[in-house]
Structure 1
Amino acid sequence: MQYNKLFTPFKIGSMEIKNRIVFSPIGINVSNIDGTISNCEIDYYEERARGGAGMIIMGAQFISQDIANGSLSGILEHTYVIPQLTTVCEVVQRYGTKIVAQLCCGTGRDAFPNIHGEPPMSASPIPSTFNPKVNCRPMSYDDIQNVMERFAFSAKLVKDAGFDAIEIHGHTGDLIDQFMSPIWNKREDEYGGTDEKRARFPREIIRSIRNAVGLDMPILFRISLDHRFEGGRTVEDSMHLIKLLEEAGIDAIDIDAGSNGAIDYVSPSAYLGDACMEYLCEPARRSVKIPILNSGNHTPETAVRLIESGNTDFAMFGRPLIADPEMPNKLMNGKGEDVRPCIRCNDCLGRVAIRQTKLNCSVNPQVCNEVRFQIKPAKAQKNVVVIGAGPAGLEAARVASIEGHKVTLFEKEKVIGGQLAAVATPAFKSQLRGLIDWYDIQLKKLGVDVQLGREVSADDEILASCDKIIVGTGAVPDYMSIRGIDGSNVINIIEAHKNKKLLKGENIVICGGGLSGCDMALELSTEGGKKVTIVEMADVIAKDAIFVNSASLIPMLAKAGVKTYTNSKVTSIDNQGVYLQRDDGTSELIKADNVVTAFGMRKNNKLAEEIKAKYHIKTRIVGDCEKVGKVGTAVHMGFFAALSLE
């Protein structure tokens, strides 16, 4: 495909951006506790500028410490933060990339009680998100004026630091959005009651910033045009609102969908498909004349289509530019096949929101460690043997070869990818298939000797003669001792993915409601036309899924008619179906033509342990055969094994 349209310049106000690719604002949780941004953060943004993005919008920075909430972000309250901000501006601008500071006045009702205490501040005395028994404190006129003063100070500060533009964070149901939305704004004063009055708070913010920075510095506004929950603001509701924002003087509008009440659209999962927020662009284009930016699971192909349609002017890429910061340059130089795909797993968000650590990426272990984890030429070439072409082995082989080592990769199957090759069959896993294809291309370009259909034993001569051994033989489906589990109508989930022709009947019962079982159920019901039932011992299904992903997955399963039995144990299986016993002691037969077992995976480490016992000094075990985990766990282990070669 031709990507030329993505590499045409376009203006926002007086600012010309060299291309149509914008790096979306994403909180990365690495700023310093005093509100300055860290060197790690600077390296992270520099890498995306070096990779060719036309414009970078930094993750939200707060206008004051007392309203900062959530991840570690910059605080724009003191002038001592300017030097580090100047550094990030200059390292980005070095590559002709524009850099935008996103200003935020907090989360309002969504504030975490452990950070803010209670009650949080909002437009109205509405229930707090995390403790609905506590009503928010409605902002007074003095509170509002204080926010305006702080926006003005922060705006002048980022202008002095050298930023090219400012974006106002007005989406995802945070404080500004709470003023703009009737479901949250119940005020009866000049800030509530009509569209115009609800828009007064953001319009005053726009004027406050404009007075502080002058006419030449562009101001962007990020807004969700479709909250996607009952009672939230709809696309139709938002059209008048964005006209009011345009009249107030914004230079561009950054549009998406979702809110904290529809979290799956805030960081859209694989289940939502490509360009899942493109539908917002046409109505927005009819409503405003200013440039439009759009995000939401874009691929280079959907970005070209969208720009060519004329309904938007910039395509925004967040996680894809985390996965591969060099994507723009690769596309521009005709090397699209070298773009490492984002698999939309949302582990990047999970690290920040769940583990409260810094952002990283399943397929790019160098994220937020761009300097520390540089791949450098080896001091001396080694003969490296990698056993197993799953994600851990593929990454180990790739990195070791880049370092200059001679790499031989053995895989007993006739295809690479390991479990990924088996399970990446549904449409919503297209990015996983893309990752396998990417590894195939990279290993061929690097000259890695890939030997498929070749099993290795601990006694093979090549292991004795090589310098280093990396073993990644993966995992196999776990097995439970259940009467009838060896029946002809029973198949494990990996084999079911490999050969769906074995699932001849209409009624399928999946034993095990973890993420893999749920994904299989969604695929069989939506793409295979099967009637699917999930039986799960725990109290919920998809317990191992990141909350953003399950927010899409669970409703989709329900819509597809998938039945679920939780708190239920499979006691036996026969040709009639699956017998289960509930926690309350009752039992039931779920009729099934075919039964799929999805009891998780266990380490396939017999060969690994044999090799390690014989060559313990030069052997490293990686991936699921060391610790069963996610794709990202395996990729990181393979990366580290290769990076540590001396």
Structure 2
Amino acid sequence: MTDTAFTTLFSPLDLGPFSVSNRLIMGSMHTGLEESPKHFGRLAAFFRQRATGGAGLIITGGVAPTDAGRAMPGGAAMLTEADAEQHRIIPEAVHEVGGRICLQLLHTGRYGFHPNIVSATDAQAPISPFPPRALNDDEIQAEIEGFARAAQLAEQAGYDGIEIMGSEGYFINQFTSPALNRRTDDWGGSAENRQRLAIEIVRAIKAAVSDRFLLIFRLSLLDLVPNGTPWSEVEQLAHRLVEEGVHVLNSGIGWHESRVPTIASMVPAAAFREATAKLRQTVSVPVAVTNRINRPEQAEDLLSAGTADLVTMARPWLADADWGRKAGTGKADEINVCIGCNQACLDHIFQGKPVTCLVNPYALQEDRYSRQPAVQSRRVAVIGGGVGGLSAAVELAERGHEVHLYERGAQLGGQFLLAARVPGKEDYRYTLRYYEQRLQHLGVSVHLNAEVTPEQLQAAGQHTVVLATGVRPRVPDLPGIDHGMVVRYDQLLRGDRAPGTRIAVMGAGGIGFDVGEFLLHCDAPVTATEAFLSHWGIDASGANPGGLIHPQPQHAARKITLCQRSDEKPGKRLGKTTGWIHRLQLRTGGVQHLTGIQYERIDDQGLWYTDARGDSRCLAVDQIVLCTGQESELTLQDGLLRAGLEVHTIGGADKAAELDAKRAIRQGLEVAVALSA
């Protein structure tokens, strides 16, 4: 059965060498498992599950075609017949369930993290500690031969095709873009010369593989760096690639060194669609659209509007392995939607950790968690309706336990509900929708506005309790803390208190930055595509070279000061791959920082503090927002234990520190597994 709401999305498409059953591409993303064949069994199971879940075509994480192209020492590469043989288990697993899978060939060039990196020039990338070596003509030819050999090995391994990574500032893009290629030989200068590497790679690959082998090229439509590729050259290269036999063009948006967000949560859905639509009008092969597409209605709209022929999504398949199956069978509301947080995927990669997913801790961790029904069914009370409690309730019910979920408020969601009110984090509400759907489907008894007691639980015959009561904001012991201008962050985000005009935010952790962005954009949102593009200075039409124009930041006319007691760089502990965005947002909005201070008191004049030199000063404000940490909400714990109940504490109730939804959701799963053994 196919959902008639998404008829275009689930229509077949002829790609040349073969047809796909739908328009869904699971895009390439590095998982951290590609480097060692001992993990290929896990990768095979991961991709097989996504093929079963409705991905029409899968593209693997990037694999280097040459030794110099590795992302890191020992990084994934396809160099020998032994490599091909070790890979064989992956396409076989996908083919067993009727799926199709391509290997991505990714040469990192100057983006590599090892001393043997190479590029068009010796210009060092700002995101790598190593300077590259500029290749001579013979060395370039050797890299081209490496691509051809890797493609041949990929076909030998059983892959259905390859995707050549020609965008995002990697090796090929380093040659094609005038932003970096300043060579004066036959590999630089004119557009034709700068495109020569891409063209000769495709020619060499076509000569090395069969006609049944699919060739996708990921083309940089918008470099989003100064002096980037003009649209005329993008179009010229696209036509040349098609003439050489490329079957599909995939959209590439932005270089990794670009100072423009392209996949983080604040990026509107398909914000760069105009560039893809423009490309599709000029070429004769299927074109795929990508970047921040996470729901089927978005995908269907893009296809039916003629923006593209295919939709590429990567992280949404981490969040829900059954994304396609659910969308195609009338269960779109049950999709566990990717929220674009980066916290367990990209952040993990840049921290050297295996990838998983904040909203789906099963992702690439399936071998750790048993899905078997409980050995013995229990009656379990889950106290607290934040994401930790929601995770525990759903996972317990999945395993056959009788679950009662108690939430003292009128809504489920806890701190996640507050996060969804921060401009740019609106998609967080879909996580709550997913859990609410699962609770209803599994028959979990949900009790709202419920101040439960140990006696009530005993009377109901419940002896096992998951305490997921979360946190409460910490209120510092400070003279004047009860002044009328003082407001807690939760009161502000809920709308219980209106924002002021001259504001001191006490605390510059993750919540402090969220509050700063809320104050800047709650009255001047940049979540609509047009506003977002203008705010960041993006020309999605490609009329300006590289897609950059002069930014026109939009923010509320408030004077905001972020205050912190430590003297470290504000926002130092924010997410590895998104922290720079939040810091830039606040700097663009004129937010000031006070670091290394000691709070003294609050009075009618404002916030008094002692600066780093020991001088007493007053910050004149009309509102002070407390983001001074959290405390575990454990009011019930002692009573539960005294009553002899079995108590398992998770989430913020277990550890308040900086709020960590990833840990809370994972602990909800882990406690369900433990109670089912």
User: Partner of 2:636: helix, strand, or coil?
Assistant: helix
CA offset at residue 605 of structure 1?
A: 2.4
**Matching residue of 1:434:** 430
CA offset at residue 221 of structure 1?
A: 0.8
**Matching residue of 2:92:** 90
Mapped pair 1:270 → 2:265: yes
Aligned residue pairs, count = 636
8 Å contact from structure 1 (residues 101, 163) kept in 2: yes
What is the CA deviation profile of residues 180-229 of structure 1, one whole-angstrom value per residue up to 9, with x for unaligned ones? Answer: 11222121111000111011111111111100003332211113221223
Mapped pair 1:170 → 2:166: yes
CA offset at residue 130 of structure 1?
A: 5.2
CA offset at residue 350 of structure 1?
A: 4.3
User: Partner of 1:6: helix, strand, or coil?
Assistant: coil
User: Partner of 2:426: helix, strand, or coil?
Assistant: helix
**Matching residue of 1:473:** 469
Distance in 2 between the 1:8 and 1:398 partners? 33
**Matching residue of 1:201:** 197
Mapped pair 1:52 → 2:85: no
**Matching residue of 1:102:** 104
What is the CA deviation profile of residues 498-543 of structure 1, one whole-angstrom value per residue up to 9, with x for unaligned ones? Answer: 224x226333322222222222222222223451413232443333
**Matching residue of 1:510:** 505
Distance in 1 between the 2:10 and 2:289 partners? 16
**Matching residue of 1:28:** 31
8 Å contact from structure 2 (residues 316, 338) kept in 1: yes
Distance in 2 between the 1:245 and 1:265 partners? 28
User: Partner of 1:47: helix, strand, or coil?
Assistant: helix
Mapped pair 1:389 → 2:374: no
One-letter amino acid of the structure 1 residue matched with residue 651 of structure 2 = G
8 Å contact from structure 2 (residues 499, 519) kept in 1: no
CA change 1:98–1:504 in 2 (3 A) is closer
For residue 563 of structure 2, the aligned residue among 511, 514, 536 is 536
User: Partner of 2:205: helix, strand, or coil?
Assistant: helix
Q: With structure 1 as the length reference, what TM-score do the two structures score?
A: 0.93
**Matching residue of 2:584:** 555
Distance in 1 between the 2:582 and 2:417 partners? 21
Structure ranking higher on relative contact order (CA contacts 8 Å, 6+ apart): 2
User: Partner of 2:578: helix, strand, or coil?
Assistant: helix
**Matching residue of 1:253:** 249
> Which blocks of at least 5 consecutive residues in structure 1 are unaligned?
none
Q: Which moved more, 1:286-295 or 1:337-346?
A: 286-295
For residue 10 of structure 2, the aligned residue among 7, 12, 17 is 7
What is the CA deviation profile of residues 73-101 of structure 1, one whole-angstrom value per residue up to 9, with x for unaligned ones? Answer: 54211212334422221221233322111
> Which blocks of at least 5 consecutive residues in structure 2 are unaligned?
524-555
CA change 1:609–1:196 in 2 (3 A) is farther
Mapped pair 1:129 → 2:129: no
**Matching residue of 1:377:** 373
One-letter amino acid of the structure 1 residue matched with residue 119 of structure 2 = S
Q: With structure 2 as the length reference, what TM-score do the two structures score?
A: 0.89
8 Å contact from structure 1 (residues 535, 568) kept in 2: no
For residue 288 of structure 2, the aligned residue among 293, 296, 301 is 293
User: Partner of 1:209: helix, strand, or coil?
Assistant: helix
Quote the sequence identity (%): 27
Distance in 2 between the 1:590 and 1:437 partners? 42
Distance in 2 between the 1:434 and 1:361 partners? 15
8 Å contact from structure 1 (residues 417, 436) kept in 2: yes
User: Partner of 2:450: helix, strand, or coil?
Assistant: coil
What is the CA deviation profile of residues 282-322 of structure 1, one whole-angstrom value per residue up to 9, with x for unaligned ones? Answer: 22123322211121110322211111111211111111111
One-letter amino acid of the structure 2 residue matched with residue 632 of structure 1 = K
User: Partner of 2:29: helix, strand, or coil?
Assistant: coil
Distance in 1 between the 2:303 and 2:599 partners? 52
**Matching residue of 2:547:** none
CA change 1:448–1:130 in 2 (3 A) is closer
Distance in 2 between the 1:583 and 1:89 partners? 60
8 Å contact from structure 1 (residues 512, 535) kept in 2: yes
What is the CA deviation profile of residues 32-75 of structure 1, one whole-angstrom value per residue up to 9, with x for unaligned ones? Answer: 53x57521111111111110111101111112345312497542
**Matching residue of 1:576:** 605
Distance in 2 between the 1:465 and 1:505 partners? 49
Distance in 2 between the 1:524 and 1:222 partners? 38
1:91-490 aligned at under 5 Å gives the runs: 91-105=93-107, 107-112=108-113, 116-117=114-115, 120-129=117-126, 135-235=131-231, 237-262=233-258, 265=261, 268-298=263-293, 299-462=295-458, 465-490=461-486
8 Å contact from structure 1 (residues 30, 73) kept in 2: no
Q: Which moved more, 1:205-214 or 1:342-351?
A: 342-351
Q: What's the C-alpha RMSD, in Å, of the aligned pairs? A: 2.3
**Matching residue of 2:21:** 18
1:514-529 aligned at under 5 Å gives the runs: 514-528=509-523, 529=556
Distance in 1 between the 2:613 and 2:222 partners? 42
One-letter amino acid of the structure 2 residue matched with residue 96 of structure 1 = G
What is the CA deviation profile of residues 302-356 of structure 1, one whole-angstrom value per residue up to 9, with x for unaligned ones? Answer: 2111111112111111111110111111111101111111121101334533431
Distance in 1 between the 2:29 and 2:478 partners? 47
CA change 1:602–1:236 in 2 (3 A) is farther
Mapped pair 1:595 → 2:591: no
CA offset at residue 420 of structure 1?
A: 1.6
Distance in 2 between the 1:72 and 1:485 partners? 55
CA change 1:512–1:596 in 2 (3 A) is same
